[in-house]
Amino acid sequence: MTLEMQDLARTVLRLAESSRQEVEVYTIKQRSLRVEVTDGEVETLREASQTGVGIRVIDRGRLGMAFTTRLDRESLKDAVQLAAANAQSSAADEFNRLPDPKPVEPMALLDPKLAELPVDVKIDFAKKVESAARGYDPRVTKVRQASYGDGVYEIGIANSRGVDVGYQGGYCATSLMVVAEADGQAETGWTYDFSRSFEGLDPVRVGREAAARAVEMLGAGSLATCRVPLILAPDVAAEFLEILGPALTAEAVQKGKSVFAGKLGEVVGSKELTLIDSGLLPQGIATAPVDDEGVPSQDTTVLEQGVLKTYLYNTYSAAKDGVESTGNGVRPSFRGALTSGTRNFYIPPGKLSQEELMGQVGRGLYVTSVMGMHTANPISGEFSVGAAGLWIENGRPARPVRGIAIAGNLIDLMKRLVAVGSDLRFYGSVGSPSLVVEGITVSGE
């Protein structure tokens, strides 16, 4: 079956008449909905839809781009001509090229109910999330935001070398931030979840989880500076991975913007650390049959037992290094230039539960949140973040802690990893289980 966007990509490709040029057409049609509820009332209800076409033209190594949201024949032809004209004014680069076609396995990524469910049902979902949080504990006094959102999309990609693919997909997500108060102190709790299907989201679990996170931090105090093992909660570990991921792309390495430059084949982490990037992960939010330039998706083991095995490549960076693309060509949108990035990027789960990890640590800090991760330096690997969490004594949470800081180097942190939990959880396209790292200085009072 040929999809509408795939057919549109073919149509635009036929408008490019010059045999000297390589042409790629990327088309997308998407619809999204977002609901935000506070005190049982709808504060925000926003629906949006858009169809767009992105075009790349390569003329003797010179790359030109253009895009349009107008789908009439003249506008599409003008966009093709503009991309070709832009190529004429760019510098030639021998590594500018388009991928050749390869077999692609179809995927079922769309739950039809996402588009069919009435808006009232989705509003009711957000209200249930809020209600579950308020009902968890009387100390939960405010709900800053209970939200539900979903989106459906269809993508088509065609190029002059024979790539011709199309697919559909959808997702839904919910998030919640609450405030708990006691004895003049207020603490916030936040959580997030997503699924490919509406039935995959549980509003009660999400609401209670956010409330529990706020309540457990009531009475938090600081901590004397110490050097202890840390257990990084899955969402905290995922924030570290969000810094590591871009630094593991060949594009970052080739531009001299990665702490991993020149380290292929070297030990950059402990034997407990394996990192996988997957475009094929079942139910992954970034799962698709191909990347954004039509290269078939694959599973790529980036780090294996601490050894850096490969970088992540799109067609351009692969040509530059003389290797094959790993299917990591990504676009911020149809308007943007194709770059490289992670797909579903994660640490596979270990065998120990969170409770078993705490028992193994005995005395240390369970880090439940960090602040300022965006300031980490992907080139040097240096980071310094504020943190909060639970102090562990005798293998059990003893008291909440905040007003502390953790600083170090990402490579050093990776080498200090001693245990991996079984509780793998994804936050968008990045996932991690709980991680235990040893010998980290926590700066407190």
Tell which residue, 273, 438, 269, 272, has the closest CA to residue 365: 438
How far is residue 20's CA from residue 89's CA, in Å, rounded to a whole number?
16
248: tokens are: 């593991």
Tens of pLDDT along 399-416? Answer: 999 999 999 998 999 999
Helix runs in 73-191, H state only: 73-88, 113-116, 119-134
pLDDT of residue 375: 87
Nearest to 410 by CA among 388, 383, 384: 383
Question: Quick one: pLDDT at residue 18?
Answer: 65
For residue 19, the model assigns a pLDDT of: 61
| CATH code for residues 4-215 | 3.30.2290.10
| Domain ranges for the chain | 4-215, 220-445
What pTM, to 2 d.p., does this model score?
Answer: 0.95
Q: Are 107 and 278 in contact (CB under 8 A)?
A: no
Q: Which of 218, 181, 191 is nearest to 132 (CA)?
A: 191
Q: CA-based diameter of the chain, in Å?
A: 75
* pLDDT at residue 1 in the model: 60
> H helices within 322-445, ranges in order?
354-361, 410-415
Block means of pLDDT (10 residues each) for the chain, length 445 residues? 89 83 96 94 95 96 97 95 94 96 95 90 96 96 92 97 97 96 93 94 96 96 92 96 95 94 95 98 96 98 98 98 98 94 98 95 95 87 93 95 92 94 96 95 86
Q: What's the pLDDT at 352?
A: 95
DSSP string, 371-386: E-GGG--TTT-EEEEE
Dihedral sign from CA coordinates of 218, 376, 346, 207: positive
Burial 316-347 (b: 16+ CB within 10 A, else e): bbbbeeeeebbbbbbbeebeeebbbbbbbbbb
Give the DSSP letter of residue 343: S
Phi, psi of 15 (to 5 degrees): -75, -15
- pLDDT given for residue 439 in this prediction: 87
